[in-house]
């Protein structure tokens, strides 16, 4: 038998524990740092924040918006509890603008409710948000004005933007000015009473590359990447959709490409999938940049030519031993000696052009042609002989240049003009000594993927080429998982500054798909890609030490929004800012 006195003490202890569990900690803002301390139930504490997220909203000049507003960010330290059920919107804009705004209002509401995991209480004030968009133009391209102004006066908020996509960024920032608190068994939302933000991106090209040639990604998985991009104000999803391993893109005009090239009937992208993703992305201010890599990185999917009397469209397909025929298994390269290749490309490009009628750009890949493959293919060697050419590197480069010229003509014929900007990976064809012979600087934009110490980008800029920079030793997010490469932390990603030159139109983080599929991609990409997003949007001079707390906060935000972003630090360090530097 337990003595009554012990029973009583046990009950008191249990009561105490259960009560404490709801709200053990509160935070104080001390010299721009949120400091954790025990909450004291028995006395009213003043000047404390009910969650780290609430503290982060106002503690320090930079608050919690990621990427940091680039022109002006002024805010009060006053907070207001708000009722998520009583947020009203006034949308000012013409019809196509309004539709996109309405979609973004839904996204906004979903995002703020995610802060309290759907368990927000309804205490607090009603909020009124007015969004004014000047332009009726809803086209999205490099010239789109993405700027916005956001102002709040207690319960009245106003977003002003030239375009609907600027307004979208404004709503994104506003959602990041709202956080959850947790106090006395109550969970609710809180915002900053007075804010003035003027904001616009530093670079107009801010992209993430995904690769569905090596491992398939479902439409849902790609949508999650788009959600996370929108949360971080990235604006271009570069889709390396095919590779020598598989051809999951369903071409209406050339169905054999995916029939022979996909991993299975289910692992394909139908025209409806492409359209769905295109529209999903656009609402979020994101364009899809399609890439069909050629002439290398093309094999599976191209094998059916001989049966259709089109000859060999590709050569060295799945050839072994692969090390003698390509850089990575399975081998495969398009056959530049077969004129039919360009007809098939033309038909394929027509499908893509129809799906992206507004597109001002297209990515033709163009990396890593492996000359020994072409050189060991009799029909290619004979083709070169007929032109009086040999098998030396210069002649092979000419052949590659000829392929590129014909592929461009196939594209131009598909689209009906010669205006589309073509992106190409840097390669032997883009070497400073060779490039001007093969690639017109008014048509081609070069995506360099060399390490930061490599002089290539600078040389190409001096020759007048426009660049998208994907710094290999910082923005290749797959590195550290194969070969002798290093894993680049979010700090490495953040610290990567691009060359400051008007012809650097932006940069890209790349997630190659050899060692990642839908089960792991969220954590491989996020939140590291967000570190690049701030570099591209704000290009601030801040150190990673200065932005660390805000970055950790953004990681938690991505988690709330359903992105399985990796942990950057023990949770204790998130709760105890500046203690783990």
Q: C-beta of 196: minimal distance to ligand NAG in Å? A: 7
Per CB under 6 A, which region of 19-27, 155-163, 240-248, 442-450 contacts ligand NAG? 155-163
Nearer to ligand NAG by Cβ, of 136 and 543: the residue is 136
CA 304 vs. chain centroid, Å, equals: 35
Cα 154 to Cα 542: distance, rounded to the nearest angstrom: 30
Which residue's CB comes closest to ligand NAG?
307
Cα 169 to Cα 42: distance, rounded to the nearest angstrom: 43
Of 81, 99, 273, 368, catalytic: 368
Nearer to ligand NAG by Cβ, of 111 and 160: the residue is 160
Q: C-beta of 337: minimal distance to ligand NAG in Å? A: 8
x-or-dash string of contact with ligand NAG, 303-322, rule CB under 6 A: -x--xx--xx----------
Q: Does 162 bind ligand NAG (CB under 6 A)?
A: yes
Of 243, 291, 478, 534, catalytic: 243
Q: Does 265 bind ligand NAG (CB under 6 A)?
A: no
- Residue 165: CB atoms within 10 A of its CB come to 29
Nearer to ligand NAG by Cβ, of 242 and 312: the residue is 312
CA 60 vs. chain centroid, Å, equals: 28
Of 205, 238, 297, 479, catalytic: 297
Nearer to ligand NAG by Cβ, of 4 and 378: the residue is 378
Q: Does 255 bind ligand NAG (CB under 6 A)?
A: yes
Applying CB under 6 A, which of residues 137, 360, 379, 514 lies at the interface with ligand NAG? 379
The DSSP bridge partners found for residue 206 are 507
Applying CB under 6 A, which of residues 74, 153, 375, 387 lies at the interface with ligand NAG? 74
Judged on CB neighbours under 10 Å (0-12, 13-18, 19+), 121 is: middle
To the query of whether residue 478 is one of the catalytic residues in this protein, the response is no
Per CB under 6 A, which region of 302-310, 363-371, 457-465, 490-498 contacts ligand NAG? 302-310
Query: What DSSP letter does each residue of 398-456 carry, written as one string?
Result: HHHHHHHHHHHHHHHHHHTSS--EEEEE--GGGSTTTHHHH--TTTEEEEE---TT-SH
Q: What is the helix (H) or strand (E) element at residue 29, kind and residue range?
A: strand 25-30
To the query of whether residue 146 is one of the catalytic residues in this protein, the response is no
x-or-dash string of contact with ligand NAG, 449-488, rule CB under 6 A: ----------------------------------------
To the query of whether residue 297 is one of the catalytic residues in this protein, the response is yes
**For residue 443, what are the contacts with CB-CB under 8 A and spacing of at least 6?**
408, 418, 421, 422
Q: Which own/partner pairs from 71-76 qualify as long-range (CB within 8 Å, at least 24 positions apart)?
A: 71/198, 71/199, 71/200, 72/196, 72/197, 72/198, 72/199, 73/195, 73/196, 73/197, 73/199, 74/195, 74/196, 74/197, 75/177, 75/192, 75/194, 75/195, 75/196, 76/192, 76/193, 76/194, 76/195
Q: What is the helix (H) or strand (E) element at residue 92, kind and residue range?
A: strand 79-92
Cα 298 to Cα 247: distance, rounded to the nearest angstrom: 8
Q: Does 383 bind ligand NAG (CB under 6 A)?
A: no
Total count of residues recorded for the chain: 581
Q: What phi and psi, each to the nearest 5 degrees, are found at residue 278? A: -60, -50
Q: C-beta of 166: minimal distance to ligand NAG in Å? A: 7
Applying CB under 6 A, which of residues 114, 134, 328, 517 lies at the interface with ligand NAG? 134
Cα 383 to Cα 336: distance, rounded to the nearest angstrom: 9
Nearer to ligand NAG by Cβ, of 381 and 542: the residue is 381
Q: C-beta of 377: minimal distance to ligand NAG in Å? A: 7
Nearer to ligand NAG by Cβ, of 238 and 319: the residue is 319
Q: C-beta of 65: minimal distance to ligand NAG in Å? A: 16
Q: Record the tokens describing residue 383, joined without a space.
A: 């083709």
Nearer to ligand NAG by Cβ, of 160 and 448: the residue is 160
Q: C-beta of 74: minimal distance to ligand NAG in Å? A: 4
Residue keyed to tokens 């000359």: 371
Per-residue burial over 208-225, b if 16 or more Cβ lie within 10 Å, else e, is bbbbbbbbbbeeebbbbb
Nearer to ligand NAG by Cβ, of 220 and 265: the residue is 265
Q: Record the tokens describing residue 235, joined without a space.
A: 């604006």
Nearest to 67 by CA among 531, 567, 552, 569: 531
Q: Does 153 bind ligand NAG (CB under 6 A)?
A: no
Q: C-beta of 391: minimal distance to ligand NAG in Å? A: 17
Per CB under 6 A, which region of 50-58, 301-309, 419-427, 501-509 contacts ligand NAG? 301-309
Applying CB under 6 A, which of residues 70, 144, 152, 160 lies at the interface with ligand NAG? 160
Q: Does 375 bind ligand NAG (CB under 6 A)?
A: no
Q: How far apart are the first and last CA of the chain?
A: 53
Applying CB under 6 A, which of residues 120, 161, 477, 531 lies at the interface with ligand NAG? 161
Nearer to ligand NAG by Cβ, of 237 and 331: the residue is 331
The count of residues interacting with ligand NAG (CB under 6 A) is 14
Nearer to ligand NAG by Cβ, of 307 and 502: the residue is 307
| HEC-encoded secondary structure of 287-304 | EEEEEEEECCCCECECCC
Site of interaction with ligand NAG (CB under 6 A): 72, 74, 134, 160-162, 255-256, 304, 307-308, 311-312, 379
User: Which residues carry out catalysis?
Assistant: 243, 297, 368
């Amino acid at each position: 038998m337990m003595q009554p006195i012990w029973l009583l003490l046990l009950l008191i202890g249990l009561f105490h524990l259960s009560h404490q569990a709801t709200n053990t900690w509160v935070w104080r803002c001390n010299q721009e740092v949120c400091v954790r301390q025990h909450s004291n139930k028995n006395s009213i504490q003043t000047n404390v924040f009910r969650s780290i997220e609430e503290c982060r909203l106002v503690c320090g000049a930079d608050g919690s918006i990621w990427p940091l507003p680039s022109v002006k960010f002024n805010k009060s330290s006053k907070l207001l509890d708000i009722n998520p059920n009583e947020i009203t919107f006034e949308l000012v804009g013409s019809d196509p603008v309004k539709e996109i705004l309405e979609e973004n209002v839904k996204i906004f509401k979903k995002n703020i409710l995610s802060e309290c995991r759907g368990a927000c209480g309804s205490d607090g004030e009603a909020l009124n948000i007015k969004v004014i968009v000047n332009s009726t133009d809803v086209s999205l391209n490099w010239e789109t004005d993405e700027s916005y102004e956001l102002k709040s006066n207690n319960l009245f908020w106003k977003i002003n933007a030239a375009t609907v996509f600027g307004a979208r960024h404004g709503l994104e920032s506003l959602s990041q000015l709202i956080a959850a608190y947790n106090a006395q068994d109550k969970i609710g939302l809180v915002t900053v009473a007075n804010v003035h933000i003027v904001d616009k991106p530093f670079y107009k090209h801010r992209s993430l590359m995904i690769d569905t040639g090596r491992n398939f990604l479902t439409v849902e998985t790609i949508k999650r990447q788009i959600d996370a991009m929108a949360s971080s104000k990235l604006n271009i999803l570069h889709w390396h959709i095919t590779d020598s391993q598989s051809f999951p893109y369903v071409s209406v005009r050339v169905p054999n490409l995916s029939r022979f090239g996909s991993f299975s009937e289910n692992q394909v992208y139908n025209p409806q999938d492409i359209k769905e993703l295109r529209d999903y992305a656009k609402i979020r201010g994101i364009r899809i940049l399609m890439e069909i890599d050629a002439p290398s990185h093309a094999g599976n999917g191209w094998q059916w030519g001989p049966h259709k009397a089109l000859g060999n469209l590709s050569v060295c397909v799945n050839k072994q031993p692969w090390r003698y025929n390509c850089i990575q298994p399975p081998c495969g390269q398009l056959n530049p000696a077969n004129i039919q290749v360009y007809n098939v490309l033309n038909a394929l490009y027509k499908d893509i052009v129809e799906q992206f009628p507004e597109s001002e750009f297209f990515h033709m890949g163009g990396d890593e042609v492996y000359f020994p493959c072409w050189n060991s293919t009799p029909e290619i060697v004979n083709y070169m002989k007929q032109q009086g050419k040999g098998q030396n590197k210069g002649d092979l480069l000419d052949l590659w240049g000829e392929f590129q010229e014909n592929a461009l003509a196939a594209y131009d014929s598909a689209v009906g003009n010669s205006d589309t900007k073509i992106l190409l990976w840097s390669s032997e064809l883009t070497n400073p000594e060779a490039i001007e012979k093969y690639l017109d600087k008014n048509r081609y934009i070069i995506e360099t993927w060399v390490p930061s110490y490599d002089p290539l980008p600078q040389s190409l800029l001096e020759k007048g080429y426009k660049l998208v920079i994907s710094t290999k030793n910082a923005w290749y997010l797959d590195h550290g998982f194969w070969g002798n490469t290093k894993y680049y932390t979010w700090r490495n990603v953040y610290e990567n500054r691009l060359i400051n030159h008007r012809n650097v139109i932006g940069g890209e983080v790349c997630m190659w798909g050899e060692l990642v599929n839908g089960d792991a991609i969220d954590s491989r990409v996020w939140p590291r890609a967000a570190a690049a997003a701030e570099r591209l949007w704000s290009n601030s001079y801040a150190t990673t030490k200065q932005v660390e707390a805000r970055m950790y906060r953004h990681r938690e935000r991505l988690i709330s929004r359903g992105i399985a972003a990796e942990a950057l630090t023990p949770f204790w360090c998130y709760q105890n800012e500046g203690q783990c530097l």
